[in-house]
């Protein structure tokens, strides 16, 4: 007995071959010409990293690209840690770094070139009711320590030494970044030690402080001043630094009116360092590729003319000479940039070629029957492999994550990792309890909101409502289901943050709205498997509709409700971006609905960029992914098995 539809398979295989060739063709066409002309500079330079250096680096790349039209420039900002990871992995040529290089990074081959200098500035909201006195007093590093680290100053009154009970709302950065590390270094701390609500990126922290009248934060010069007017950004005041600690800002400590004034103060060392700091370009090993060398020379030479107008201090002659010396020493030793994608492309071409050969074989067969048998066997083998691949993929993911988290498991006991609440990666203290508790708390809260809502809606839709209502509600649910989760995050930030702040309740609301469409559609499906006869039997005995629903429909579908709820639970537990945007990223046990918290997915999402630079950090991130995967796996298997059983029974 042969399988009949031979033709569709032929078509299918043809489509498969063509479509699998497509990506290869695309990737082939994108390969850059490796040959370099001596006269006209060719090649590519890619840069990623610190927000602090980004505005200046963009000007350099634009100018450099104009002079060398054949050189392709790629630049992106993602925080210092992200840039570091990228450059050490060979994904970019240069990282922008806004802090000093760690020893571990230097060991991995990172080479630094000072390309500018700027400062991190403390900022307060302009509409703070005590703003005049705050600006007059200024801030010392002891004050900053009491605000961000020890949290002794809870009110602006304490800060000023008077009685006002206006709370200080502290903001910090959620991403591993130079600004926070340099700022923390000012009062002898690390970024991990900084308390307060954590938000992503320099623009993020500027926005958060400008929207909170009691807020205090810190930012780079480039983001503290408006690029057009060179005056401080609207809604924000720069909190002057009281260097001599006399409790007031003397005239020589006032240099915050515009960008130029501040840059000159940093240059003259009137502003303390840190928080004034060097900005670096980092490469892995000294570059020898002509385009990269030329870019670096340009940055250290003519590119420096962009520094002052953009709010950066120029590189000192010593630093420049040191960097150029490094370049001179390295030229002559040729080296090739490793093309990391070529391996994958080769593999892909090999696979396609194999498939092609397998398809060609039947042409050499004599009889029609032999060809058919061959094709039949081939297609069933290919499909069998693809089907089995799903199971293998699940196992491979578990295995891969486990292998990557072994280093941290060797150094700490599993129990300690899961129950300790101390999260200080730079001190090798990894306690996942705040993240696990945060994940559990937000999951339970969001289900507590969405379960009754979706149950009631589903019952209304299946048992009560008229067709017209269904015609309105179902498309609305489809819209909800189709929205990407980042839209829910944006909605949370725009609509819910002004009401509840970065808190558990905000994240729970966002998540509960997100799982509503899944839960409602599952419930509707489950309720419709309850047979009509049962409902009619109940009604004929004099029961009202709600009684029928409660005692017959819900009771019959309890396992289904349970399974659907567990499915929604796992969806909530694994949600990353929507939660990350509204959770406040504070590694502490969630104590109340209004407190900031942190979840496992948000931890991974915020910190994967810093993986390469702190030892064991990568392992810690992988371990959190493993925990998350195990939790979700258990939830999923449980609910799917129950749901399958229900579907089977109803058929």
Neighbours of 559 (CB within 10 A): 15
Q: Which is nearer to another protein, 401 or 586 (CB)?
A: 401
Cα separation, 18 vs 355, in Å, equals 11
Compare residues 438 and 601 and give the one whose CB is closer to another protein. 601
* Minimum separation from the CB atom of position 155 to another protein (A): 33
Judged by beta carbon, residue 71 or residue 621, the one nearer another protein is: 621
Q: How far is the CB of 228 from another protein (least distance, A)?
A: 6
Q: How far apart are CA 150 and CA 551, in angstroms?
A: 57
Helix (H) or strand (E) holding 96: strand 94-97
Nearer to another protein, 333 or 387 (CB): 387
Place of tokens 């630079």: 613
Answer whether 526's CB lies under 8 Å from 649's CB.
no
Q: Beta-carbon neighbour count of residue 649 at 10 Å? A: 9
Question: Residue 281 CB, nearest distance to another protein (Å)?
Answer: 19
The distance of closest approach from Cβ of residue 21 to another protein in the complex, given in angstroms and rounded to an integer, is 10
Query: For residue 473, how many other CB atoms are within 10 A of its CB?
Result: 16
User: Closer CB to another protein, residue 70 or residue 629?
Assistant: 629
Nearer to another protein (CB atom), residue 188 or residue 203? 203
Q: How far is the CB of 186 from another protein (least distance, A)?
A: 25
Q: Quick check: 314 and 116 in contact, CB under 8 A? A: yes
Structure tokens at 253: 């400590």
* Closer residue to another protein in complex, CB, 144/455: 455
Query: DSSP per residue over 197-239, as a string?
Result: EEESHHHHHHHHHHH-TTEEEEEEHHHHB-TTT-SBPTTEEE-
Residue 494 and residue 490: Cα distance in Å, rounded?
6
3-state helix/strand/coil string of 511-551: HHHHHHHHHHHHHHHHHHHCCHHHHHHHHHCCCCHHHHHHH
C-alpha to C-alpha distance for 331 and 321, rounded to whole angstroms:
16
CB of 625 to another protein, least distance (A): 4
Cα dihedral: 596, 601, 603, 606 (round 10) = -100
Alpha-carbon distance of 611 to 623, in angstroms, equals 12
Q: Name which of 321 and 347 has its Cβ closer to another protein.
A: 347
Question: In angstroms, what is the minimal distance from the CB of 23 to another protein?
Answer: 5
* Centroid of chain to Cα 35: 37
* CA–CA distance, 507 with 579 (Å, rounded to integer): 6
Tokens of 127: 């509409």
Q: Minimum distance from CB of 118 to another protein (Å)?
A: 15
Nearer to another protein among residue 262 and residue 516 (C-beta): 516
Nearest to 133 by CA among 151, 98, 97, 158: 158
* Distance between CA atoms of residues 434 and 591, nearest Å: 10
Check whether the bond before 274 is cis (ω within 30° of 0). yes
CB of 309 to another protein, least distance (A): 12
Task: Give the nearest distance from C-beta 512 to another protein in angstroms.
Answer: 9
Using the minimum distance from each CB to another protein, give the nearer residue, 24 or 131.
Answer: 24
Q: Shortest gap between Cβ of 12 and another protein (angstroms)?
A: 7
Q: Smallest distance, Å, CB 592 to another protein? A: 24
Q: Which is nearer to another protein, 297 or 545 (CB)?
A: 545
β-bridge partners, 169: 215
* CA–CA distance, 531 with 535 (Å, rounded to integer): 7
Which residue lies nearer to another protein by CB, 325 or 464? 464
Q: Nearer Cβ to another protein, position 186 or 635?
A: 635
Q: CA nearest 256: which of 276, 243, 240, 268?
A: 240
Tell which residue, 609, 600, 605, has the closest CA to residue 627.
600
With respect to another protein, which residue has the nearer C-beta, 190 or 404? 404
What letter would DSSP give residue 597? Answer: -
Name the pairing type of β-strands 215-220 and 169-173: parallel
Shortest distance (Å) from residue 226 CB to another protein: 7
Cα–Cα distance between 218 and 240 in angstroms, integer?
Answer: 12
Q: Pairing between strand 43-49 and 215-220?
A: unpaired
Report the Cα–Cα distance between both ends of the chain, in Å, rounded: 28
Cα separation, 504 vs 8, whole angstroms: 53
Kindly state the smallest distance separating residue 576's Cβ from another protein, in Å: 4
Q: In the complex, what is the shortest distance from the CB of residue 532 to another protein, in angstroms, rounded to a whole number?
A: 20
DSSP assignment string, 493-514? IIIIHHHH-SSHHHHHHHHHHH
Residue nearer to another protein on the CB measure, 109 or 400: 400
């Amino acid at each position: 007995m042969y399988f009949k539809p031979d033709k569709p398979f032929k078509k299918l295989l043809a489509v498969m071959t063509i479509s699998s060739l497509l990506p290869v063709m695309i990737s082939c066409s994108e390969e850059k010409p490796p040959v370099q002309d001596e006269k006209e500079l060719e090649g590519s330079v890619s840069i990623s990293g610190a927000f602090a250096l980004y505005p200046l680096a963009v000007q350099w790349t634009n100018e450099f690209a104009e002079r060398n039209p054949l050189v392709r420039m790629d630049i992106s900002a993602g925080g210092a840690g992200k840039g570091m990871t990228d450059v050490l992995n060979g994904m970019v040529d240069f990282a922008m770094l806004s802090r000093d290089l760690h020893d571990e990074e230097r060991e991995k081959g990172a080479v630094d070139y000072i390309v500018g200098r700027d400062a991190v500035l403390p900022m307060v909201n302009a509409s703070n009711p005590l703003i005049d006195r705050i600006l007059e007093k200024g801030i010392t590093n002891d004050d900053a320590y009491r605000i961000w680290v020890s949290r002794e100053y809870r009110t602006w009154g304490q800060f000023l030494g008077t009685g006002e009970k206006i709370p200080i709302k502290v903001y910090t950065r959620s991403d591993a970044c130079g600004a926070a590390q340099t700022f923390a270094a000012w009062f002898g701390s690390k970024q991990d030690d900084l308390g307060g609500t954590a938000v992503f990126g320099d623009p993020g922290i500027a926005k958060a402080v400008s929207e909170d009248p009691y807020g205090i934060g810190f930012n780079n010069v480039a983001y503290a001043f408006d690029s057009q007017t060179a005056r401080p950004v609207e809604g924000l005041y720069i909190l002057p630094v009281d260097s001599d600690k006399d409790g007031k800002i003397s005239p020589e400590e006032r240099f915050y009116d515009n960008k130029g004034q501040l840059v000159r103060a940093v240059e003259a060392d009137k502003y303390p360092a840190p928080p004034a700091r060097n900005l670096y370009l980092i490469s892995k090993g000294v570059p020898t590729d002509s385009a990269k060398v030329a870019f670096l020379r340009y940055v250290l030479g003519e590119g420096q003319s962009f520094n002052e107008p953009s709010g950066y201090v120029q590189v000192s002659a010593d630093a420049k000479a040191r960097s150029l010396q490094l370049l001179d020493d390295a030229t002559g030793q040729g080296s090739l940039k490793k093309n990391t994608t070529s391996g994958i492309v080769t593999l892909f071409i090999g696979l396609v070629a194999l498939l092609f050969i397998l398809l060609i074989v039947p042409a050499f067969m004599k009889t029609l029957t032999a060809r058919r048998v061959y094709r039949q066997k081939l297609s069933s083998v290919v499909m069998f492999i693809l089907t089995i691949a799903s199971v293998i993929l699940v196992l491979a993911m578990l295995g891969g994550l486990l292998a990557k988290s072994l280093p941290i498991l060797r150094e700490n006991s599993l129990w300690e990792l899961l129950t300790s609440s101390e999260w200080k990666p730079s001190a090798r203290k990894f306690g996942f309890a705040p993240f696990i508790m945060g994940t559990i708390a937000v999951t339970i809260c969001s289900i507590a909101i969405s379960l009754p809502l979706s149950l009631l809606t589903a019952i209304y839709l299946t048992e009560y409502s008229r067709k017209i209502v269904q015609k309105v509600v179902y498309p609305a649910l489809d819209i909800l289901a189709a929205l990407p989760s980042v839209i829910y995050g944006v909605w949370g930030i725009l609509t819910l943050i002004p009401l509840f702040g970065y808190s558990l309740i905000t994240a729970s609301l966002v998540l509960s709205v997100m799982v509503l469409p899944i839960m409602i559609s599952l419930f509707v499906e489950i309720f419709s498997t309850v047979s009509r006869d049962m409902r009619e039997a109940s009604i004929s005995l004099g029961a009202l509709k709600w009684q029928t629903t409660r005692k017959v429909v819900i009771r019959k579908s309890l396992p289904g409700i349970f399974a659907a709820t567990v499915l929604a639970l796992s969806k909530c537990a694994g949600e990353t971006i929507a939660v990350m945007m509204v959770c406040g990223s504070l590694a502490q046990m969630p104590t109340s609905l209004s407190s900031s918290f942190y979840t496992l997915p948000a931890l991974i999402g915020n910190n994967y960029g810093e993986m390469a630079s702190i030892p064991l950090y990568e392992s810690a991130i992988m371990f959190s992914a493993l925990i998350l995967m195990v939790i979700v796996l258990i939830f999923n298997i449980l609910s799917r098995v129950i749901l399958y059983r229900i579907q089977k029974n109803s058929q």
